[in-house]
Structure 1
Amino acid sequence: MAKRVTIFDPPEQDHSKALIENVLDLTPVVDLGRDVFTNTRPLWHPPGARGIYGGAAIAQSLSAAMRTVPADFAVHSMHCYFVLAGDSEIPILYHVERVRDGRSFVTRTVQARQQGRPIFTTTLSFSRVGSGGAKTIDHAVSKPVVALPEDAKPGTMKALSHAGGGPFEARKAGIVNRISPNPEEKKVRRFVRARGHISDEGGYQAHLSALAYITDSYFIGTISRVHDIPRFSSPAELEKLLRALKNPSDLDDEDLTRALKELKEEEAAELRRRLEGALSKATDQKYHKEVGMMVSLDHSIYFHNPRAFRADEWMLTEMESPWAGEGRGLAIQKIWSKDGVLIATCTQEGVVRLKQDKPPLSKI
């Protein structure tokens, strides 16, 4: 008997909606209760990951909870724990519990289960819009002055390379204090947005779900970035890439080939110089570090202005890490809308372990 990845046969893609809306669509499972939902379509399992992309569980749990809350309440925080790796070949059931319905605040918990086992759990709090009163205390961190990415013109190689892909896209926006010897002083910036146009039918809730989905992208990876642990950490991988740089047409990766062809000569020389520097460190065991395990443990999102942004417009994210140790690391992320409004602050802790030169000592 063939294995089913969804409980119900998935419908055709709804082209009136953005790809991310299709990815995150939920179907009620009324036979199991009024507040039980399941993923409508198969979920993505990133290459090399232990399970499904964590952002899907975060976003679909949020979407399920929002379906049980009055329209005049908006989410202001959610606190999540990744319990087990999600299997992309097994349907997920999202069970929403209506913990409390107050006049100003509403609380929900959502547990995502596969084959009866919890794989993800979150608690969400919603506040009534305008319940703070006419007089309020207001302040927010200003958006850094960073130029928005330029959208590629139709027909160009850059436009072609961004034409397909996943439900959202990202562009690098630099690293603050890149050369600092202190990892805690560095800040990694990226622009992100959902691909296509999020439908009016989805309302502001669709933008919140899309934002929640995107927040898990490269988040715990901030730890390795601020420690300058390169993606190609073995000399063999770096040498292979260096050889490819000398003859870009020989590259297997089509997107990388197109990108390299667009580079000016000085940009290619700078890339080669940085790779050669990384290669010299990789061959020196004194500097050699390689990530052995990187897994998210928890994830929190504080939604500051849930109706003041569009997730299909460029949002600026800034990630940093105030601490790492004991085989774990903590990352913090701030997100601004295209118009400069601080829309969310996120935290994530994860297991971050390096490959060890020697096996651990036996306990006596």
Structure 2
Amino acid sequence: MTRINRVLDLEQIDRDIFRGPVIESTLLRTFGGQVAAQALVAASRTVDGDFSVHSLHGYFVAGGRSDEPTVFLVDRVRDGRSFRSRQVRAIQDGETLFIMSASFHRSGDLGVEHADRMPEVPGPENIVMDVSGMRESFRALLEEWSDFDIRVVDPADYPANPHAASQQVVWLRSRTPLPEDETAHVCTLAYMSDMTLLQSALVPHPGVEVQEASLDHAMWFLRPFRADEWLLYDQVSPSASAGRALTHGRIFDRSGSLVAVVTQEGLTRTLRPGAQSIPLSTSVRRERTSQR
């Protein structure tokens, strides 16, 4: 079973209680996108099939251990005719790691239509990733995410947003073919949405080392998409101060349709001497040190 399929394969241990498996990782802390995706799987399993998630809002309140399973408790907050609300708590050893509220909308409603346009950038097949000049923390994350095809667009290849303090554009997709089930694509995109977004806040600060962690995560699902086909993630960081950075991303499919929007605040605290931006396992640290 591939990594993303293992991530989304939750065990139901009671009516509204689910357990996520341990996923082998080079990271000491559980990847935030994994926790968010699994929480969304748990919430989705308590909602009828004619309802689809349209938004989620989550807070990362403690760092999880990647070598331990996570339990998800779902609260059925409201079951309305058009909308259903769920709250999910992710727990390890009795401690809450993540709290998420998700809202589901019954399909079939009609209304006004408009959307932002996708920026003009080179296609993913024209991008060759050169990781040699990237931060060590970002290279470590790219290795962790090897089941996904991630290609950062060179800033010289697209017109910069003159009003953005920081911008980054990334093509990404799951290398794993996904089933036709809409929930699989939505939950996979929830996983992918935490990839690279915080790094967009560091673009104007080359060489500056910071402690990195997701603090909260909000996401809106706007139109159907496939997470195993190319998606363009247009990211900006409107502000960074007091050790935190605010980031925002628009996700487009290859045809230019706006399919999702993400907003996240992350920790970007100045790194203490000798500390790591992203904690890695001891064996990985030894291997990286020996390669220097």
In structure 2, give the amino acid aligned to 1:116.
G
- Hey, what's the Cα distance between the residues in 1 that align with 2:42 and 2:264? 22
**SS of structure 2 residue aligned to 1:89:** coil
CA contact (8 A) 2:122 2:157 kept: no
Structure 1 186/148 Cα, relative in aligned 2: closer, same or farther at 3 Å? same
Q: Is 1:143–2:118 an aligned residue pair?
A: yes
Question: Where does residue 34 of structure 1 map in the other structure?
Answer: 15
Cα deviation, residue 175, structure 1: 2.5
What TM-score results when the alignment is normalised by the length of structure 2? 0.81
Question: Where does residue 170 of structure 1 map in the other structure?
Answer: 150
CA contact (8 A) 1:314 1:338 kept: yes
In structure 2, give the amino acid aligned to 1:38.
R
* Structure number having the greater helix percentage: 1
Q: Is 1:323–2:249 an aligned residue pair?
A: no
Paired positions, count: 258
Cα deviation, residue 90, structure 1: 1.7
- Hey, what's the Cα distance between the residues in 2 that align with 1:148 and 1:58? 29
The Cα offsets for residues 125-184 of structure 1, whole Å up to 9 and x where unpaired, read as 1111123x3xx12111111222322299xxxxxxxxx9x96331201223379998x893
Q: Is 1:76–2:57 an aligned residue pair?
A: no
CA contact (8 A) 1:293 1:353 kept: yes
- Hey, what's the Cα distance between the residues in 2 that align with 1:309 and 1:79? 20
- Hey, what's the Cα distance between the residues in 2 that align with 1:356 and 1:38? 35
The Cα offsets for residues 72-127 of structure 1, whole Å up to 9 and x where unpaired, read as 11111100100111111221101111000000110000100001110111000111
Question: Where does residue 295 of structure 1 map in the other structure?
Answer: 213
Cα deviation, residue 43, structure 1: 2.3
In structure 2, give the amino acid aligned to 1:325.
S
Question: Where does residue 255 of structure 1 map in the other structure?
Answer: none
Runs of at least 5 residues in structure 2 that lack an aligned partner in the other structure: 128-141, 274-292
Question: Where does residue 249 of structure 1 map in the other structure?
Answer: none
- Hey, what's the Cα distance between the residues in 1 that align with 2:4 and 2:126? 19
CA contact (8 A) 2:7 2:38 kept: no
Question: Where does residue 190 of structure 1 map in the other structure?
Answer: 170
Question: Where does residue 113 of structure 1 map in the other structure?
Answer: 91
Matching of residues 92-111 of structure 1 within 5 Å: 92-111=70-89
In structure 2, give the amino acid aligned to 1:327.
G
* Pair member with larger Rg: 1
User: Out of 162, 174, 184, which is 1:206 matched to?
Assistant: 184
CA RMSD across the alignment? 2.7
In structure 1, give the amino acid aligned to 2:153.
A
Question: Where does residue 259 of structure 2 map in the other structure?
Answer: 343
CA contact (8 A) 2:219 2:263 kept: yes
Structure 1 176/317 Cα, relative in aligned 2: closer, same or farther at 3 Å? farther
CA contact (8 A) 2:121 2:157 kept: no
- Hey, what's the Cα distance between the residues in 1 that align with 2:114 and 2:54? 16
**SS of structure 2 residue aligned to 1:60:** helix
Identity, in percent, stands at: 36
CA contact (8 A) 1:174 1:190 kept: no
Matching of residues 135-284 of structure 1 within 5 Å: 136-150=111-125, 166-175=146-155, 184-200=164-180, 203-225=181-203, 227-230=204-207
Cα deviation, residue 46, structure 1: 4.4
